[in-house]
Structure 1
Amino acid sequence: MEFEFDTKKSQGNKVKHGIDFYEAQAMWDDPDLIEIPVKTSDESRFLAIGKISEKHWS
């Protein structure tokens, strides 16, 4: 899967949540990853819940 993201927003996410968007990509390596479709009017989105280094993220 290819990910696109804003570098400044990724840095802000690291400060606020302790993980940047580059690190968060590892969640898709979790064999037990759960993806739940989320209804939006303009695009397909999913809530993803997975584990990175023994910690759960969403």
Structure 2
Amino acid sequence: MAEIHVTPKDDLITHEDSGFCVCGPRLDLIRHPSGATKWAYIHPSLDNRENQQGGRT
């Protein structure tokens, strides 16, 4: 089963495609309607844009 990495654009660092990235990515299991599953590492930004109202995407 392949893994996917979702990383923010133009962040303070270049994120590694690894679960050991310095940002501390969370691991989510993604289920497709067909029944297929994949692991996805969701990397948070280090500039905290997820927690800013009207922040960058």
TM-score, normalization: structure 1?
A: 0.31
More helix by proportion, 1 or 2?
A: 1
Which is bigger in relative contact order (C-alpha 8 A, separation at least 6)?
2
The structure having more radius of gyration, on CA atoms, is 2
TM-score, normalization: structure 2?
A: 0.31
